[in-house]
Amino acid sequence: MKSIEMHIHSFSLRFQFKYRTDFDVFAYIALARERGFTGVNISANGPGYRDLGGTTPPHFASVRACLQEHHMACEIDTSDTRVDNLQQMLSVASQLGAERLRVYTKYQAPLSEQMEWTVRDLKAIAPEAERLGITIVFENHEDFQGAVISSILAQVNHPRIKALYDYGNAQMVGEDPMEALRAMQPYIDAVHVKDHVLLKREGQLWVQGVPMGQGLLPIMEQTEALYAGGLRRFCFENVWAYAARFKADKLPTTAPFSLQHSHEFLNGALLPESEALEQEWQAFESAWQWYQSALAAHGFVIGRR
């Protein structure tokens, strides 16, 4: 049997966070424990630290106590590699007891400059990450192909600066997900497990999130390859009704880019609240059930350290 840890990402329940008055970070942690996850990834990206639900040291202490009570590991998300942001978010991560901090670049510039500035930022922040014992994981987030991520991390060359491989984000930049995985694998320390399809709407191509098991990503091939490469912690992410523009000039011919499927374009944010809540919950439940079954069929077991 292949033992792994399994986190859940707070994006999986984004409409529950957004619309329900009885659902917050504390309810989320309790739900994650009850559903069999070993940890949580919390989006703290943006004003108010989003799903973290607070910005003060007393709030962070309360969240940390809740994590400890439920025996849950924690990772948090931010965006923007600028050093002042990463310093601030490393402090938040440290107060929570988080082990990893996800980031991606937000620079708008030619590729060579984006890479240069990102390398500069990550090199500058690496000593602080090392001091705090927190690993910064740099995500392929709808921007760079896998080889670019690896080039950036090779130049940074620090054990506390690693990669986060997203199962589907390579599609936005016209790269087959398995090609991105192979390019990034020497640096991968964290992942987001999800499912996507590609579809056309009003003459434009979109990458659409669908319940896991209903899309075209090679999820178990990816999971097996990552495990073989040494990864032991995965993060489940329900991305139902999320959509992002396809950004590449050329459409690959591999299976994840096929337009032959039954899904239609759906933006959950445009649905009435009650429908968004119900459909997201159904997608979460079915996706987690599917992934647990698929993992078991491939000899994986979820266990705690």
**What are the tens digits of pLDDT across the range 101-123?**
999 999 999 999 999 999 999 99
The tally of domains found in the chain comes to 1
What's the rounded Cα separation, in Å, for the pair 28 and 17?
9
Which H or E run includes 110? none
In this predicted model, what pLDDT tens digit does every residue of 235-280 receive, in sequence order? 999 999 999 999 999 999 999 999 999 999 999 999 999 999 999 9
CATH number at residue 298: 3.20.20.150
- Kindly list the averaged pLDDT for each block of 10 residues, start to end, along the chain of length 305: 97 98 98 98 95 98 98 98 98 98 95 96 98 98 94 98 98 97 98 97 94 97 98 98 94 96 94 98 98 98 88
Closest of 164, 181, 255, 187 to residue 224, by C-alpha: 181
Domain range for 170: 2-302
What's the rounded Cα separation, in Å, for the pair 32 and 285?
12
The pTM is what? 0.97
